[in-house]
Structures are given as C-alpha cells and as structure tokens.
C-alpha cells in the first residue's frame, strides 16, 4: 500500500518527531524570553522601525497582525507584519524576532542572492506542492511511469525551496544580531536571550528541510520498489 509502508516509519516519522520537537522548542524559548524586558524599553515595532530607517528603508511599512509568531516580511507589498506577541512587547524575544524580519527587508534591498533564488522558485514550488502527490497517485493508478516521475520531480522543488530557505533565514538572524549588538538596542544577557530565540526558530527551518528530503526519498524508494515489482 502507498500510505502504509516501512519507509514511513524509518523516514517520515522520525522527521515529523524532530519537527514537533523543534516547534515546541521555539515556542518554549520564545515564552521564556518574552518575560525578559530590555533596558531601553524598546518594543518589537520600535526595533524594526529603527533598523529599517538606519538602512534607508523608510518606504517599508509596519503592520500589526493577530496571532502568535505569525511575523513575516511581505516583499510584494513592502510591509513587515508583526504579531500580538511582538508588536508592542518590549521583551528581548520580541525585539529579536522583529529584528529578524527587518533583516529580510534589508536582504531584499541589498539584493542578497539566496533570497532572489527563493523568490524565483516560489511559483514552481507552489505548483509542486499541489500537484506532486496527485500526479504520483494517478501514475500509480494508471501504471503510467512518466506521471510518477513528473510528480516526484515536482515534489523535489519543495525540498529545493526548503534548502534555499536555510541560508536566507540564518542570514536574516545574523543581520539581526549584528545590528542589535552594534546599535546597543540590546546588551549582555539581552543579546544572549535574543540569540537563543532566533536559534530555536532556525531549527524549525532545518526540520522543514529534513521532512521534505525524507518525503522525497520515500517517494523515490516507493517508486523504485514498484518498478521492481
């Protein structure tokens, strides 16, 4: 059967457990450092605005959105959206997250190459994520090997997107920590707390890549096994 195979137990399940652990870690780390305020009383929104203005990005808007850790930079509309737990909070966790999102805006402004690649593959990835499994299932049902192969190739674009995302996210965090330290927005243990929050968040992207690669390998192995059969 397609869904009940030992590849699931040796590939997908461990990857899923790691992803769950990474998500729990980022949540717990954020909660921990959400209780630690910074000496300057700087809010997440204030930190993001300072970083943007310092890089000549006055055109980038800030918006307050609902949710917890739903923060993101929207390059198409040139807006950084900060969540309830970040926007008005003066915790070191909030400042770290806001600085990270500002780092993405700076990446786009300076033409950081990996983010150009990620932006370019997004349309293909969207198609791959929607059509890959249906094509594989159709290929298996109709015993059409080309359909299965196309489906696997499309799913490979999902793994490619996750691979390109890693340097983008780590670079944004690196930019954030550098500016927070050099500007004096955070100091000493405050910097340590922000770094731990961003490091925990980075693990979720590592987990996403591992999960995508595990699923891709599973599909390849299943396809090969069916050919042998």
Helices (H), 55-144: 84-87, 92-110, 113-141
Q: Please name the residues in contact with 114: beta carbons below 8 A apart, sequence gap of 6 or more.
A: 164, 167, 168, 171
Q: Which two tokens stand for residue 27?
A: 């949540």
Q: Is 189 a catalytic residue?
A: no
Under DSSP, the state recorded for 3 is S
**Set 63, 101, 169, 190: catalytic member:** 101
Q: Look at phi and psi of residue 92 and say left if phi exceeds 0, alpha if psi is from -120 to 50, else beta.
A: alpha
Spatial separation of the C-alpha atoms in residues 229 and 225, rounded to whole Å: 6
Q: Are 19 and 204 contacting, i.e. CB atoms less than 8 angstroms apart? A: yes
Q: Are 205 and 198 contacting, i.e. CB atoms less than 8 angstroms apart? A: no
Q: Please name the residues in contact with 16: beta carbons below 8 A apart, sequence gap of 6 or more.
A: 211
**Sheet with 79-82, edge to edge strand ranges:** 61-64, 79-82, 72-74
Q: Are 209 and 167 contacting, i.e. CB atoms less than 8 angstroms apart? A: no
- Catalytic site positions: 101
């Amino acid at each position: 059967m397609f869904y009940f195979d030992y590849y699931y137990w040796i590939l997908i399940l461990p990857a899923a457990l790691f992803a769950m652990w990474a998500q729990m870690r980022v949540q717990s780390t954020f909660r921990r450092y959400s209780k630690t305020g910074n000496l300057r009383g700087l809010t997440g929104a204030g930190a993001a605005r300072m970083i943007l203005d310092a890089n000549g990005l006055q055109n980038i808007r800030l918006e307050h959105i609902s949710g917890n850790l739903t923060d993101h930079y929207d390059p198409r509309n040139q807006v950084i959206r900060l969540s309830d737990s970040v926007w008005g909070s003066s915790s070191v966790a909030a400042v770290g997250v806001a600085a990270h999102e500002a780092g993405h805006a700076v990446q786009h402004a300076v033409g950081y190459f990996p983010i150009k690649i990620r932006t370019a593959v997004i349309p293909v990835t969207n198609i791959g994520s929607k059509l890959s499994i249906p094509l594989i299932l159709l290929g298996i049902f109709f015993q059409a090997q080309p359909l299965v192969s196309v489906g696997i190739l499309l799913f490979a674009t999902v793994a490619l997107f996750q691979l390109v995302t890693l340097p983008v996210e780590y670079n944004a965090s690196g930019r954030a920590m550098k500016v927070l330290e050099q500007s004096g927005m955070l100091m000493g243990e405050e910097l340590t707390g922000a770094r731990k929050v961003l490091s925990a968040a980075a693990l979720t992207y590592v987990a996403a890549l591992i999960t995508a690669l595990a699923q891709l390998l599973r599909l390849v192995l299943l396809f090969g096994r069916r050919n042998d059969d």
